[in-house]
Amino acid sequence: QVQLQESGPGLVKPSETLSLTCTVSGGSVSSGSYYWSWIRQPPGKGLEWIGYIYYRGSTNYNPSLKSRVTISVDTSKNQFSLQLTSVTAADTAVYYCARDTGYGDPFDYWGQGTLLTVSS
Amino acid sequence: DIQLTQSPSFLSASVGDRVTIPCRASQGISRYLAWYQQKPGKAPKLLIYAASTLQSGVPSRFSGSGSGTEFTLTISSLQPEDFATYYCQQLNSYPRTFGQGTKVEIK
């Protein structure tokens, strides 16, 4: 059974860089069958796809966040990470990591989510 | 970007009711649509993909239909555990987008 687990600081100050990590167990981020995504959900609001990384390092980002986002993968640790620069209160959200095949298929496995609050 | 519209945002229903939740895409997406259920404090759970394919382990009272721009999630007989928020998601192109959600509340 594949499991994804997000981890992060919980609180970040405005203008700083947000860094989150997703650790995958029961499967491998090196599998060529899957794409690994970040998705966020502001409190009381809907879901926004942030971007994905493929194990070879190729990425695809939501244009709305592209200038501030970097997603990377560490195959030795079976993890992938999100960095979001110059955060503001609007970036306060629950951040989820998730898996899909990228070929018109849905997100079949999700982490439980981690709340990231931007506040001074 | 492909916009997905879910209306209404809130729906009141009783246990045993047949419930239909619509989702409209701003352009044709063939059958590249998924439905998720989300309960408070939990991650979304995949219910249906390819517009009408039931994910393994999901009760058969859930069904999906549609193609192109009009889609529907149907719950044939609402159960107490089905009170939640439901999101559609398009899988046709990037960026992946979601509808704003329909919350099914107890009447």
Q: Over the stretch A56-97, which tens digit does the pLDDT of each residue have?
A: 889 999 999 999 999 999 999 999 999 999 999 999 999 999
Record: contact A47-B44, CB cut-off 8 A: yes
Amino acid B56: pLDDT: 96
Check whether A33 has a pLDDT greater than 90.
no
Amino acid A103: pLDDT: 80
**Lookup: tokens for B23:** 């989702």
Amino acid A55: pLDDT: 80
CA distance A119 to chain B (A): 21
**Which chain A residues are closer than 8 Å to B84 by Cβ?**
none
Check whether B47 has a pLDDT greater than 90.
yes
Contact between A21 and A11 (Cβ < 8 Å): no
SS3 content of chain B, % helix, strand, coil (to 5): 5, 50, 50
Check whether A31 has a pLDDT greater than 90.
no
| Peptide bond just before B59 cis, omega within 30 deg | no
Check whether B21 has a pLDDT greater than 90.
yes
Mean pLDDT estimate for chain A: 95
Please give the angle made by the CA atoms of B28, B71 and B46, to the nearest 5 degrees. Answer: 105
Which of B10, B88, B91, B96 to substitute to test the interface with A, most A CBs within 10 Å? B96
Check whether B92 has a pLDDT greater than 90.
yes
Amino acid A43: pLDDT: 96
